[in-house]
Amino acid sequence: MNKAVVLLSGGLDSTTCLAMAVDKSSAANITALTVFYGQRHAKELEAARNVAAFYKVKHYELDVAEIFRYSHSALLDTSNESLEHSSYAEQIAKNHSPKVATYVPFRNGLMLSMAASFADGLYDDDFVELYIGVHDDDNAEGHAYADCSAKFVASMSAAIRIGTYEKIHIVAPFLCQKKSDVVKVGLELGAPYHLTWSCYERGDIPCGHCATCLDRAQAFVLNGVKDPALVELKRKKFLSLVELY
């Protein structure tokens, strides 16, 4: 069975990728890699740990926050930029720019490169898969994230194959699909969406208004189900209230 490294952020897309990788092979052949790049929503790191524990896969974390010291991305904890509570399409139209405030410079390029080096050293096998959960919604609205586009992934894939002597192969199963398609697959595989975190804000509960919250909500609506993470939060809140009496 093929060995694989999955870039695991703790969100819906990467969790679904992990579910697919485990389903295709086995937990023993899969390694999850989580990257801390200084993101303001560091709560997703906790989510990644919980998801990795759920699947009983090996899990490693890398800290590369220093690389983005001079970035002004609103997604970074050190940034003074405001986080807009609107869809990517609305942000692009409002700001007359192909980029959104939450774009982190070449983030996916950096993570894929590091993950390729990591996977090459981790496994002695001649063929290793490297999963990334980018999907069409990430770039459809005026290419809000250029490093999620099909052109970008194809270019990185070619470079990594060449640079690793055809050993590391990128797998981006949702590259041409919508987030609702990602959720559909995850639901079929029993992905632990109740453990995931998507919101860009720092709170203990999702804000419901940032671009990723809006995308996530729509994805579950289109699948005709309630968001398991929100259901779990309501359950915990109820139990907390019960404990007061």
Please determine, for residue 237, whether its predicted confidence score (pLDDT) is greater than 80. Answer: no
Mean per-residue pLDDT, 21-42: 96
pLDDT at 185 over 80: yes
What's the whole-model pTM score?
Answer: 0.93
pLDDT per residue over 101-128, tens digit each? Answer: 889 999 999 999 999 999 999 999 999 9
Whether 73 shows a pLDDT value over 60: the answer reads yes
The DSSP result for 111-173, as a single string, is HHHHHHHHHHHH--SS-EEEE----THHHHTT-S-GGGSHHHHHHHHHHHHHHTTT-EEEE-T
The structure tokens 């697919």 sit at 20
- The answer to whether 11 and 48 are in contact (CB under 8 A) is no
Can you give the pLDDT at residue 100?
Answer: 83
The number of distinct structural domains making up the chain is: 1
Predicted local distance difference test score (pLDDT) of residue 240: 52
- Residue with more model confidence, 98 or 192: 192
pLDDT tier, 239 (very low <50, low <70, confident <90, very high otherwise): very low
Q: How far apart are CA 158 and CA 175, in angstroms?
A: 16
Q: Is the pLDDT of residue 208 over 70?
A: yes
**Hunting for tokens 């069409």 — which residue is that?**
136
- The rounded mean pLDDT for the chain is 90
What's the Cα-to-Cα distance from 210 to each of 34, 201, 206, rounded to whole Å?
22, 8, 9
Residue 245 has pLDDT above 60, yes or no: no
End-to-end CA distance of the chain: 53
Please name the amino acid found at residue 143: H
Structural domain that includes position 200: 3-243
Q: Using one digit for the tens of pLDDT, what is the confidence trace for 142-162?
A: 457 889 999 999 999 999 999
pLDDT value for 202: 85
Residue 217: pLDDT over 80: yes
pLDDT at residue number 238:
52
Domain holding 19: CATH number? 3.40.50.620
Higher pLDDT, 203 or 182: 182
